[in-house]
Structure 1
């Protein structure tokens, strides 16, 4: 493929922006950005200044920490209007958290990755804090991510696994391409995915994929809890609930697309 001029700079700028976004309201300092992006300090400083100039990042004048800027909110609002996921997805996550007592999530697909965008905690006092809005994993890593991968056709599954193979080997010791192929098959049989502590020991999850009206994988709804709360019987119970909420969200997406035929949902833009 022919190289696109400036593509590396854009890719690095997005890496910096994502690192800022992962910290949410805590913000991040320059030294942390350098560590999290694996870029050198002058490059990170230059890119973060460019992002500030465009309103994508803001710096607190007292703490000097960096935060997501207002322009990100504007772009997010526009994307939310296009994909029609906002309020309905938030309502689904809230219902799941309330009924289960555990932590509920909505994650979206970003090409070969899954990104958590919503989290709601239930009232059970013991929680797992592994997944937060902004957390990004290769497809297949974690319950929601695995549900998305399993919902794709075989050719797309293999493409994702091939691209992520090296990252799985270097950063996710409990995962491998052969193992994920088996997990995809099991997920398809059940209709929902199960993560039995493979990302972090003791943190288990169950998830169901959500599709757009065109059949593309949009995201996944998931529940995460400590191991003792997600044994086999409750996995099945939560799996059914998640599937019901996923189908409800899909009906909303279909209705929104029917009302706006010129803006029918297509594949999520690959980042």
Structure 2
């Protein structure tokens, strides 16, 4: 279910006439700074590090702002810079926090060998994505041995639900009212950043997924890069994420789409069978 975000307003201070507490300018500015720092951190996490100019481009922030945020993150051990290449990478503190979090989010540990097996068997790129509110976030990627790779999705990348094969598989597994809420929440972002998508098209794709049992991305994110997605559910039937396979268009004719869908269904079933109530879902609300 899509839930409203909880207020991050002050916990003390004078109430206004309605008895509510006001956010001060300092608190609002602090929240914005944190959001920007997280945006930079996510950009650093994609691929094999990133330089300052690339981070400026990817985040849409000014160079001085990105540099200031990187300096603050580096001081906390969240990022580090390679002295030779000048590229930024996730720092040791991210590793520490990730290890702590992995004990709670056990599904990623279970998914890792399954994603590796998918990549080995199909020869292409395999992924596991998790639902995070109205987005799908790529949690892991494994590449097979086929020489032509698609770079449509890297660990840490996030797309609105419905954009991409795995993301579409997650969206189609939701209740109708949740689907519409997700689409409305992402409408402006989809219109601005995904020119090959529209809300009517995504609704049509959802119907297709429900009819055939798997999601297909026909090069709508990056032309020539196709994908197949299958949802992963918990014991109660709630969608947690999706397994997906991406390949160049020439390797995704209709017959192979069906073969890849069967492979994904098999592995999704294996992953679901391993899930234990102690492994909480990754449907974290942001």
State the TM-score, normalizing by the size of structure 2.
0.85
Structure 2 gaps of 5+ residues are 1-5, 10-26
1:8 paired with 2:23, answer no
Structure 2 match to 1:101: 123
User: Which of 46, 51, 60 is 2:82 aligned to?
Assistant: 60
Deviation of the 1:65 alpha carbon: 2.2
Deviation of the 1:98 alpha carbon: 1.7
Deviation of the 1:9 alpha carbon: 1.7
Once structures 1 and 2 are overlaid, which stretch shifts more, 112-121 or 158-167?
112-121
User: Which of 186, 211, 215 is 1:193 aligned to?
Assistant: 215
1:269 paired with 2:284, answer yes
Structure 2 match to 1:113: 135
Structure 2 match to 1:217: 239
Deviation of the 1:267 alpha carbon: 5.4
Q: Aligned equivalents of 1:217 and 1:230: distance in 2?
A: 26
State the TM-score, normalizing by the size of structure 1.
0.89
Query: Secondary structure in 1 aligned to 2:241?
Result: strand
Q: More helix per residue: 1 or 2?
A: 1
User: Which of 17, 41, 46 is 1:17 aligned to?
Assistant: 41
Q: Aligned equivalents of 2:263 and 2:210: distance in 1?
A: 16
1:167 paired with 2:180, answer no
Deviation of the 1:3 alpha carbon: 6.0
Deviation of the 1:210 alpha carbon: 1.0
Contact 2:241 2:282 in 1 (8 A): no
Structure 2 match to 1:183: 205
Q: Aligned equivalents of 1:146 and 1:266: distance in 2?
A: 18
Contact 2:131 2:282 in 1 (8 A): no
Determine which structure has more spread, i.e. the larger CA radius of gyration.
2
Q: Aligned equivalents of 2:134 and 2:85: distance in 1?
A: 35
User: Which of 236, 245, 253 is 1:231 aligned to?
Assistant: 253
Deviation of the 1:155 alpha carbon: 1.8
Contact 2:169 2:231 in 1 (8 A): yes
User: Which of 174, 177, 200 is 1:152 aligned to?
Assistant: 174
Q: Aligned equivalents of 1:127 and 1:201: distance in 2?
A: 13
Q: Aligned equivalents of 1:103 and 1:162: distance in 2?
A: 31
Residues 60-99 of structure 1: pairs in structure 2 closer than 5 A = 60-99=82-121
Query: Secondary structure in 1 aligned to 2:221?
Result: coil
Query: Secondary structure in 2 aligned to 1:82?
Result: coil
Contact 1:212 1:266 in 2 (8 A): yes
Contact 1:214 1:265 in 2 (8 A): no
Deviation of the 1:79 alpha carbon: 2.4
RMSD: 1.9
Q: Aligned equivalents of 1:87 and 1:267: distance in 2?
A: 12
